[in-house]
Amino acid sequence: MKTIEQIAAELQGYDPKALRAVDVNAFLARLVTPVSETEACGVFGALGRVLADDVVSPISVPPHDNSAMDGFAFDGGQLQPGQPLVLRCLGTAYAGQAWSGQAGAGDCVKIMTGAIMPAGTDTVVPIEFVKVDGETVTVPADVVRQGDNRRLLGEDLMAGRPALARGQTLGPAALGLIASLGLPTVPVFRRLKVAYFSTGDEILSLGEAPREGAVYDSNRYTVFGLLTRMGIEVLDMGVVKDEPAALEAAFRRAASEADAIITSGGVSMGEADHTKAMMKQLGDVAFWRIAMRPGRPMAVGRIVQEGKSSVLFGLPGNPVAVMVTFLAFVRPALQRMMGCAACEPVLLQAHSAEALRKKPGRTEYQRGIVTREADGTLRVRTTGNQGSGVLRSMVEGNGLIVLHHDQGNVAVGDPVDVMMFDGAI
Ligand code: AMP
Ligand code: MG
């Protein structure tokens, strides 16, 4: 396991006092390692879990050529351009009940959606296109081509081929796909467990009476929501008072029980509290000033307890800064720990509806409202007041406008990158 100092030495231009956002991600990618333990998980329980192994299809789906429509199956080789085709109906093929005869030239078989294509047929004409008179079925000219309305064996999945890849997060479609293969369980990485607490003597817990200079704790609730959305097991440790004994007990318990610890508050420069001191005392921790807005201060490292190491994310105190640093840095790092193959958020591009002031030399994350224009392009406006304590901006926005490190002012209509909240928040 590399120390903070060793990781820092690997990064070119590492400057803890003015770290670029991209360097934070590069640092964290080196700091964290994926969990190694795996378990077999039932399909219903696998939603949101990360696949620990490739899933190879044991069967072909569908297992036979079958009809995609209710209609009549016949040999499409008999179709002539511009000519109707008159056929004799031999019987009916139902789904789940194969029709066992053989269709020859001039024959057809009435067929239901999902029924196996009868021998001698390769084309289905939908029932609404044909004229039926007793056993005589007339296919009008040019309504189907050979092979139409037939699903081929294995067109969804072929036996022996990989159906899902290790590192994939299982969504609703993947659950259905796993079940379609007849698999009752899949191998997944064990769930990650993350402990979090808020620090600061001015922070009130719910239920406490308001007092002058104090604010209610919101960070624990946003962090809870962000972690829960990721399928992470949470250990809520409440608000921890700014006292060495309380902080030490909290860090020790968190480190012994969780894979990662998220704290908020107490890491900024002028802090007169004990949080930073305790992090330093118990762990191998770097204290950064990141060239970003919001969310300049951050502490990152490891706390080791009884031979077990836990990754520490010491986030700033301001509520918006907590969410932004989580989305920009913590989330991809935790995804890596969960075994996810894809940890990079997908950025979209939208045209700015406003002129935005931006100084090159830091990354800014403004809260934006992305809408779709009549011509199909995306447009983004800010939510207004971008103060790092204005949590309302995160509620009103549907994404972050990411103004990159070297980027300068944005003019009306300029394209900007946006990180959509959907799926994360
Ligand atoms: P700090 O980083 O501790 O200096 O905190 C920066 C600002 O965030 C201060 O105004 C704090 O009152 C506020 N803050 C810190 N922790 C929380 C929290 N858990 N919930 C809401 N606001 C907080
Ligand atoms: Mg504080």
Q: Is 314 in the pocket of ligand 1 (CB under 6 A)?
A: no
Q: Is 316 in the pocket of ligand 1 (CB under 6 A)?
A: yes
Residues with CB under 5 A from ligand 2 (ion): 200, 265-266
Distance CA 187, CA 168 (A): 11
Condensed to tens digits (0 to 9), the pLDDT of residues 218-233 reads: 999 999 999 999 999 9
Please state the atom number of ligand 1 nearest to the C-alpha of residue 239: 19
Which of 197, 203, 322 is the pocket-test mutation for ligand 1 (most atoms within 8 Å of CB)? 203
As a dihedral over the C-alpha atoms of residue 263, residue 264, residue 270, residue 272, rounded to 10 degrees, the angle is -60
As a dihedral over the C-alpha atoms of residue 83, residue 86, residue 87, residue 88, rounded to 10 degrees, the angle is 180
Higher pLDDT, 43 or 268: 43
Atom 17, ligand 1: residue with shortest CA distance: 317
Q: Give the per-residue pLDDT at 268.
A: 84
Q: Give the per-residue pLDDT at 168.
A: 97
363 closest CA partner among 292, 416, 309, 296: 292
- pTM of the entire predicted model: 0.92
Distance CA 113, CA 96 (A): 10
Atom 16, ligand 1: residue with shortest CA distance: 317
Q: Give the per-residue pLDDT at 331.
A: 97
Q: Is the dihedral of CA 237, 242, 245, 247 positive or negative?
A: positive
Q: Is 200 in the pocket of ligand 1 (CB under 6 A)?
A: yes
Tell me how far the alpha carbon of residue 406 lies from the centroid of ligand 2, in angstroms: 31
Please state the atom number of ligand 1 nearest to the C-alpha of residue 318: 8
The lowest-confidence range among 10-14, 91-95, 305-309, 324-328 is 305-309
Confidence of residue 254 (pLDDT cuts 50, 70, 90): very high
Which residue ranges form the domains of the chain, and what is each CATH number? 4-27+192-338 (3.40.980.10), 39-61+155-189 (3.90.105.10), 66-151 (2.170.190.11), 347-420 (2.40.340.10)
